Structure 1
Amino acid sequence: MSRRRFDQAMHRMRENDLRVREDAFDFLREHADAYVDELIAEFEAERDDHDLRCWLLELIAEARSPKALELFRGQLRSVDDSLRFWAVRGLEMLGDRNADQALDEARGDGWIA
C-alpha cells in the first residue's frame, strides 16, 4: 500500500462530514495490517480529536500486530474508558503470551476488570 493513499485516508478522517470519515475508516480497516506503523504514529501524534484517537486505536487493534503491544499496554492505564476499551480489545486480538500478561497485570493493578 502506498503512503499517499494512507495520507489521503487520514486527511479524510479529519473531515467534518461523518460519511467521508466513515469511508476513510473503512478503507483503513481493510488495510490496517499494511499501515500499522503509520497508524501508531498518527495515534501518538493526535492530541485534539478524541473520536479520531479512538478510531485510530480501533484500527491498530484490527491490525493485530505485535508492534502495538507497548501502545496497548500504555493505554490500559488511560483515564479514558474508550481508549482503555480499545487497548483491552487490541491485546485480546493479539492473543499471545505477552498480551495476556499485560492484561493480567492490568487486572491485578485494578485498571481493568
Structure 2
Amino acid sequence: MLRNAQGDYARSLKLMRDKDPQLSEDGFHLLTLIAADHIDELIQEYRRDGPHRYWLLELIAGAGSPRAFDVLAEALDHEEESYRSRAEGGLRALDTKEARRLLFERGRRTR
C-alpha cells in the first residue's frame, strides 16, 4: 500500500487520515517528500480539515513556498502555542522580506 502511495498526493493524504496510527504517520512522511509540489492543495486541506490540521500546517511550513505566507501569518495568531511556533518556524524558513517584517512586527526576533 505504501509503495502505491509514494509520490501520489491523493493516496498519501488518504493514508495520513487513516485510523491506523502507523499508516497515518507513513502518509504524513510521504507527504513531506512532495509537499512543495502540492502547496495549494495542502493549504486548501488546512483550511477545511480538523483532526489533521496541525500536521497540514507542519507540511505547509516545511514546504518553503512563498505561497504559504498567508496561512503561516494567520497561524502566528493561533490560540495554541504549537501552531504559533510552527508558523514562526515556517516564516523564518521562508526568509522573505515580507516574512521577516511580519516576525519583526510581532516582536519575534528575525535572526
- The equivalent residue for 1:72 is 72
TM-score, normalised to structure 2's length?
0.85
Q: Is the 8 A contact 2:18 2:24 kept in 1?
A: yes
Equivalences for residues 1-113 of structure 1 within 5 A: 5-47=8-50, 49=51, 52-107=52-107
- Once the two structures are TM-superposed, the CA of residue 5 in structure 1 deviates from its matched residue by 2.2
Over the residues paired in the alignment, what is the CA RMSD in angstroms?
1.5
Deviation of the 1:16 alpha carbon: 1.4
How many equivalent pairs are there?
102
- Runs of 5+ unmatched residues, structure 2: 1-6
Counterparts of 1:12 and 1:61 in 2: how far apart (Å)?
20
Residue identity (%): 34
For each residue in 1:8-57, what CA deviation from the matched residue of structure 2 results, as whole angstroms up to 9, or x when unmatched? 1111111111110111111110111101111111001113x1xx111111
Runs of 4+ with >6 A deviation? none
For residue 23 of structure 2, what is the amino acid of its counterpart? V
- Unaligned residue ranges in structure 1 (runs of 5+): 109-113
What TM-score do the two structures reach when normalised by structure 1?
Answer: 0.84
Q: CA deviation at 1:86?
A: 1.0
Q: Partner residue of 1:111?
A: none
Q: What amino acid sits opposite 2:11 in the alignment?
A: Q
Q: Do the aligned partners of 2:9 and 2:34 also contact (CA within 8 Å) in 1?
A: no
